[in-house]
Amino acid sequence: MKILDHGSLTLVEAWGGDEQIVEAARMSTGKGFLGWGPKACSKCVGEQHDPNCGVKWMSSGALISPCTCRRPLGCDCGATGIVLGDEKLLRYLWTHKHTSPFEQVGATFEVEAPIFVFREWHRHRTQSYNEMSARYTSLPDKNYLPERCRCNPTLSENRQAQGHRKLPGTLTEVEVDAWLDDLERVYKHAQTIYDRGLDMGIPKELARLPVPVARYSRMRASANLLNWLRFLRLRTSPEAQWEIRQYAEGLQSLLAERFPRTLELFAEGGL
């Protein structure tokens, strides 16, 4: 998945799934995973339940629209015509903050991002990281260059992230383009010094000194699902820096492919 101008995000490996979360929660009962619903209530089928009555459920177990049929008294379906499967337990775990089963599954991602994004990312100390080291290999000549619209100050609740002198939206295109041109020249000059040091035989761990925090690096990050969700809660927030939000939103979409029911619950809120 392409992120920013030169970045990427790849799911390397995922272990477990929504089913394994349910199995972990049932360690005391030994029932394991019994299956997803929803399915027709056995007491209603052939009696008063019309399969076209309009009842709709989300995969996580949330009722979208109720059944309009009349139910027999004492029916187990709760007057919906539908019996839920293990999505009911998954929702219970989530809404009541029984989080340990969500630690039984997880994923590893390979990330290519600017170094300043990694500096924010690494504050999540519940993940395991391995980043390429410029002590042993030369960093590729790829630097993040923001788009013009990203450079203009915007109204934000995070006042520390705003510029100093200009009011939001008051920078001209000429001013922004001039600054971006200066930035590109700095990148090129830094690369020239970097390459010269390598060619001279300066140790890689010192030759890298002029490399800016906008330089792209690569890492692998692993975590259990609970800690990925905690990462997403913070880094998809409007208060998070825009660049790391792009990675967080991409990561959320990749996790949703492997853990669709849990990510549906996460999208509803909580944690």
Q: pLDDT, tens digit, for every residue of 176-202? A: 999 999 999 999 999 999 999 999 999
32 and 156 inside one domain:
no
Amino acid type, 208: R
258/55 Cα distance (integer angstroms): 27
pLDDT at 85 over 80: yes
248 and 127 inside one domain:
yes
122 and 155 inside one domain:
no
Out of 235, 245, 258, 261, the active site residue is: 235
23 and 109 inside one domain:
yes
79 and 194 inside one domain:
no
This prediction has a pTM of 0.84
119 counts as catalytic: no
28 and 152 inside one domain:
no
**Please, which residues have CB within 8 angstroms of residue 48's CB and are 6 or more apart in sequence?**
69, 70, 71, 72
| Full domain range(s) for residue 41 | 37-67+75-84
pLDDT at 170: 78
pLDDT in tens, 240-252: 999 999 999 999 9
pLDDT in tens, 115-174: 999 999 999 999 999 999 999 999 999 999 999 999 987 655 555 566 556 666 678 999
The tokens for 172 are: 């001209």
pLDDT in tens, 9-35: 999 999 999 999 999 999 988 888 888
183 and 95 inside one domain:
no
pLDDT at 24: 96
pLDDT at 82: 76
pLDDT at 69: 57
24/27 Cα distance (integer angstroms): 6
99 and 186 inside one domain:
no
With beta carbons less than 8 A apart as the criterion, state whether 118 and 219 touch: yes
140 and 49 inside one domain:
no
4 and 107 inside one domain:
yes
pLDDT at 114: 98
Element (H, E) at 131: strand 128-131
Domain count, the chain: 3
Q: What is the CATH number of the domain that holds 267?
A: 3.30.1360.170
Q: Give me the mean pLDDT over the 87-104 stretch.
A: 95
Lowest mean pLDDT among 54-68, 71-85, 148-162, 176-190: 54-68
